[in-house]
Amino acid sequence: MADRRSQPQLHPGAWWLWALGLGAAATRTTNPLLLGLLLTVSAYVVTVCRPDTPWSRSYSAFLKLALAVLVVRLVFVVVLGSPIPGTHVLVTLPEVPLPHWAQGIRLGGAVTAEGLLFALYDGLRLATLLVCVGAANALASPSRLLKALPGALYETGVAVVVALTFAPNLIADVHRLRAARRLRGRPDRGLRGLLQVGLPVLEGALERSVALAAAMDARGYGRTADVPAPVRRTTAVLTLGGLLGVCAGTYGLLTAAGGTYGLPVLLAGAVAALAGLRLGGRRSARTRYRPDRWTPRACLTAASGVAVAALLIMAATADPAALNPGVVPLTAPALPLWPAAAVLVALLPAFVHKEPS
């Protein structure tokens, strides 16, 4: 049996494409069975493939955040009501009268099963999207992702990577300090434990920020090479025009009237934007040490996520009722077979790749 340490690490962009594909699929459905299947698939892949690193422990934090979003969505429906008409009243809360300028808003009143179910479906979709982003954070190394970005996006990528690594490092510091307090026989829970853990955590975050600033300054961060003015203008035109083309093409694909021009405009915009990024990379005077390669396993991982998104978009167009079940009248959602089979394609990374320990 081959040693796992001999396997090269998967390209971080492959994990992000896989996770974004699952997130795009989640936005196309409110069927709780399909959303639960997406959650199960992402959790299984993260359990099998995530490395033993600080950022990989952030997945549980995203799960808690998704649960909090779902609870808040349900609380809002109970307190503020739902636009969905319903006849199955679960409870009637005291209603607070509001002035005439607040028409359309109510506080309290009847809470119906239809309104709660609609809020549950809608909140579960957002929660699934958050969990998919958390899966990408747990599987892909932020520093390696920064190294793989084009030179034109390097400065922006540094800011994004610093933001992405703040929460995982903060969570790792909290676990470390709580474990140290338990070993010393000191309380690590409750208000007292929170106050005594919070100050060292903030101090550690400040020290990391200072160390990061010093390291960036020592490595010449922000210094650019001299590029001729015509190249700079061509880069700006290609990048801006390409992004506008991507936006116009995406809008055309999402509307019925723009179905004929949507795909060509999207492809032309993507090509122009990539060319602009390629030219813009000349301003970044830096080299890459052992850049990550797109191996066959990385291509399969990215393709599985993109395939799930494409198949769910097709299913939403062909049979929207199956992917977006109604709540009036109350009916149990059914599991559409071939969209469910399409979601299972996202399990492919668990069988073709395992991160080296």
How many domains, in total, are found in the chain?
Answer: 2
- Name the band, by pLDDT with cuts 50, 70 and 90, for residue 104: low
Say how far residue 315 (Cα) sits from the centre of its chain: 22
CA angle 357, 2, 45 (to 5 degrees): 50
Identify whether residues 47 and 117 lie together within a single domain. yes
Domain assignment of residue 290, yes or no = no
The residue range of the domain holding 236 is 229-282
Based on the domain organization, do 124 and 25 belong to the same domain?
yes
Q: CA–CA separation, 244 vs 140, rounded Å?
A: 29
Decide: residue 232, CB within 10 A, 0-12 exposed, 13-18 middle, 19+ buried.
Answer: middle
Whether residue 262 sits in one domain with residue 128: no
Q: Which of 53, 70, 163, 173 is nearest to 120 (CA)?
A: 70
* pLDDT score, position 273: 80
Considering the domain architecture, whether residues 161 and 273 belong to the same structural domain is answered as: no
What would the pLDDT profile of 319-338 be if each residue is shown by its tens digit?
A: 888 888 888 788 888 888 99
Q: Are 295 and 14 in contact (CB under 8 A)?
A: no
Residues 33-66: tens digit of each pLDDT: 999 999 999 999 999 888 877 667 778 888 999 9
Does one domain contain both 78 and 155? yes
pTM strictly above 0.85: no
Same domain, 153 and 248: no
Render pLDDT for 147-191 as a digit per residue (tens, 0 to 9).
Answer: 666 666 666 666 666 666 666 667 777 777 778 777 777 766 666
Residue 95, token pair as written in the block = 């209603």
- Give residue 320's pLDDT: 85
Q: Is 141 a member of any domain?
A: yes
Answer whether the bond into residue 329 is a cis peptide, omega within 30°.
yes
Residues 6+ apart with CB under 8 A from 338: 311, 315
pLDDT at 355 over 50: no
Let me know whether 306 and 206 are in one domain: yes
